[in-house]
Amino acid sequence: MNNKISAPKGVPEYLPPESATFRAVHDALAQPAINAGYGYIELPIFEDTTLFVRGVGESTDVVSKEMYTFTDRGNRSLTLRPEGTAGVMRSVIEHGLDRGQLPVKLWYSGPFFRAERPQFGRYRQLQQFGVEAIGSDDPALDAEVITIADDGYRSLGLTGFRLELTSLGCAECRPVYRDLLVAFLAGLDLDDATRERAQLNPLRVLDDKRPEVQAQLADAPLMLDHLCESCAEHFGDVRALLDASSVSYVINARMVRGLDYYTRTTFEFVHDGLGAQSGIGGGGRYDGLMAELGGQELSGIGFGLGIDRTFLACQAEGLTPGPARTLDVYVVPLGEARSRAATLATELRRRGIRTDMAYGGRALKGAMKGADRSGARFTMVIGERDLADGVVQLKSMDTGEQTAIPLNDVATHILRELNTELNKEQLP
């Protein structure tokens, strides 16, 4: 009988050494937001189901098909968060952040959950990094948010992606366009399910991937051709600001997002090296969402970037972000020097030196094999004779050179060597 338990289907795991690269991707995406003054917010993993029904949209696939919803012991309907924006808005309203300095600028990260059919790059537990900027409809804020994402991708060395950009209009021009689109779709030869979707959310029909449907949509009216004067001016300003910041983009007038709350500036980052799941991140403006959730009439803009898919994009381009080494020193104690070696390892860690140690009283030969596998920059051997002489033997794993270093100078010596190596790596 096999009693082994496996991880749930559709839930990726990241193990060393790959996990160090995954973490480096996360940190690289977050840094531009931190540099722009965004503060960190830790969100609940689950929320009241009503939050997502009202905030995301009852007719969306996310709400109607993909949410993990359960009833707790208090007979409350709760849902594992499928996205981050609604939760951020709920938190901002609940804690009165919108009553202070505007815009409220926040970033978050962590797992999100969607009951989808698992495939390459499409998971049931997906890791995302996101930002939200709430309280201003300034086009400069749109450009800032988009640039943060673009800078994050580029800081990883990614080059094989493109930014697609459009505008979905506002409460003034969008209903007029919706009527035009509904009338157009009514004249097409659509199956019953698609015709029903056209009545509930006609924009979603534009995203239908079936060739026979796409052929009929060739002459469909486009939102960009029906923007009101205010939306057209706003979109033009966003584009001009992106041009000035050297952020490249292409206009995609047929872009459709899977969430109902998007208005005006909407964007997606696409990487063709991932096959069918090519979207690595996206977002847009969501005027009206805060009021829908019981808050003020404040505008906002944000994005969600897929950390999993960005990690896969790095693999597709042969990139390995993060430090070349995850360990600086590997300590090998011999004989009765084990206790002093352990305390020395602790001292080095407290000085910021990444340090591991050979445990279990292994012989020198076996311990040195462990040192080789660890990938550490140095191996430090400490024996009883070394302790008597007040030194340790420090071996460079790159050159093989071994030097006796005074015990009271070990941390300072290693830090000096590590800084020298870092400076060499940073030379042009």
Question: Does domain 329-426 bear CATH number 3.40.50.970?
Answer: no
Residue range 22-34: average pLDDT?
Answer: 96
Coil vs helix vs strand at 182: helix
Q: Per-residue pLDDT tens for 111-166?
A: 999 998 888 889 999 999 999 999 999 999 999 999 999 999 999 999 999 999 99
How confident is residue 16, by pLDDT bands cut at 50, 70 and 90?
Answer: confident
**Chain-centroid distance, C-alpha 189:** 40
Q: How many residues does the chain have?
A: 428
The predicted pLDDT at position 210 comes to 86
200 Cβ contact partners less than 8 Å away, ≥ 6 residues apart: 59
d(CA 23, CA 43): 19
| 218, 223, 227, 232 alpha-carbon torsion, rounded to 10° | -90
Specify burial of residue 404 (Cβ count, 10 A radius: 0-12, 13-18, 19+): exposed
List the single range of 164-173, 212-221, 241-250, 401-410 with lowest mean pLDDT: 212-221
| Topology alike, domains 18-173+227-316 and 329-426 | no
Give yes or no for a contact between 223 and 166, defined as CB atoms under 8 angstroms apart. Answer: yes
Radius of gyration of the chain measured on its C-alpha atoms: 27
Domain ranges, ordered by start, for the chain? 18-173+227-316, 329-426
Q: Per-residue pLDDT tens for 156-196?
A: 999 999 999 999 999 899 889 888 988 998 888 888 888 88
Please give the CATH number for the structural domain made up of 18-173+227-316: 3.30.930.10
